[in-house]
Amino acid sequence: MRNPKITFIGAGSTIFVKNILGDVFHKSALKNADIALMDIDATRLEESQIVVSKLMQSANANGVISCYMDQKEALKGADFVVVAFQIGGYEPCTVTDFEVCKRHGLEQTIADTLGPGGIMRSLRTIPHLWQICEDMTEVCPNATMLNYVNPMAMNTWAMYEKYPHIKQVGLCHSVQGTAEELARDLDIDYSELRYTCAGINHMAYYLTFEKKNETGEYKDIYPDLLAAFESGKAPKPSTSHGGRCQNLVRYEMFKKLGYFVTESSEHFSEYTPYFIKPNRPDLIERYSVPLDEYPKRCVEQIAAWKQDLEDFKNAERIDVKDSHEYASTIMNSIWTGTPSVIYGNVKNDGLIDNLPQGCCVEVACLVDANGVQPTKVGKLPSHLAALMQTNVNVQTLLTEAILTENRDRVYHAAMLDPHTAAVLGIEEIYALVDDLIESHGDWLPAWVRK
């Protein structure tokens, strides 16, 4: 039986590649997979090759590594295509998203999913994802795309609308990552948890959240989580990102809504109109909202990478523990037929009744030799669906904008963004979008710039 071929588009994201392939090489059926690395940055591509080569040697893997700057060549014969890139990078595009918005009075934290930052990132990104779909159609039509590129919902939606024949799933680690975080807050073992979750990417909710007791039965531990928050035992102090991200926003929303959301407080604070407001430093302080968080992380990661690279070059071995990413689990299940359950971003084809049919939703999926098979959820609690709908409105209009090349819909998407509308007047929103388009220049499609 031949070995699978795994192609990475955006392989210059070396740390991510290391984590995903570390998981892959832990799977016996995937251990000797052939790896095709593709990136437009020759230096980063070479760095990734060094790391992957040592990783393979450390795992006694015998696959072949090949490197490409030509996307179609890298995709030829692929069984799995992992996509992880950021068009425009930290500089100039992320800097532009933050500086222009700040100039117009709009503060942001992450700006990669919704709001003006997410809208601009999607406009920059979707044409490149479509080109991958085009190339896959020609040279690996049966491959499965594992897409990690944000803004997840808009990107995934645009791909399955234009290329419905491409087998793809949008992947994020917020569902399993948050469950692990809540287990730490409650001082319990993650393996004892059982949960169901559904919604949209970065705004899915744990509909059930349970723990196995001494008799082996499961009980609802949402009351325990609420008690931990009200007593001050949760959330636990942050030890990452300089202690900037305290997770108070999500706990406050949990107290109000009765369900816990999957994405971090720094993300969630800019998906709603409640936490970031002009002339309200009291809200920023009370909820520890880390403004400009993503640029700070970029600077830190760029600085840390230089030392990491030297460590990798000098290391005799590179051993990694299993991560909580789903990619290797999906590959293993499709390749071997061994069933697994993951949470994926897929088309709402009768999955969630009270979200628009056709939008992108995040639900549990069965994976086996038949591929990724989403499971039906039914009706969400109405207040959760209503909050999600405020985000789906933006996703709907931006997806329509790029599918029909309708520039007006870009402005409409920004108008409907909950955070932006809470801060700026309608003329101010139009002026902000004008400025973003002009500042991005050729990074955006021609129809947007006209």
Decide if 173 is catalytic: yes
DSSP-derived pairing of the beta strands 5-9 and 80-83: parallel
Q: Is residue 383 marked as binding?
A: no
Q: Is residue 104 marked as binding?
A: no
Neighbours of 304 (CB within 10 A): 11
How does 377-405 read in b/e, with b if 16+ C-beta sit within 10 Å?
A: beebeeebbebbebbbbbbbbbbbbbeee
Determine the Cα–Cα distance for residues 172 and 164; give it in Å rounded to an integer: 21
133: left (phi over 0), alpha (psi -120 to 50) or beta: alpha
Catalytic residue among 26, 104, 128, 173: 173
Determine the Cα–Cα distance for residues 66 and 74; give it in Å rounded to an integer: 8
Helix or strand (DSSP H, E) at 9: strand 5-9
- Dihedrals phi, psi of 7, to nearest 5 degrees: -105, 130
Determine the Cα–Cα distance for residues 436 and 430; give it in Å rounded to an integer: 10
Q: Is residue 202 marked as binding?
A: yes
Query: What does 346-370 look like in DSSP terms, one character per residue?
Result: EE-SSSBTTS-TTSEEEEEEEEETT
Q: At residue 335, what is the residue type? A: W
Q: Which residues are catalytic?
A: 173
**Which residue ranges are tagged as binding site?**
150, 172, 202
**Which residue ranges are tagged as binding site for substrate?**
150
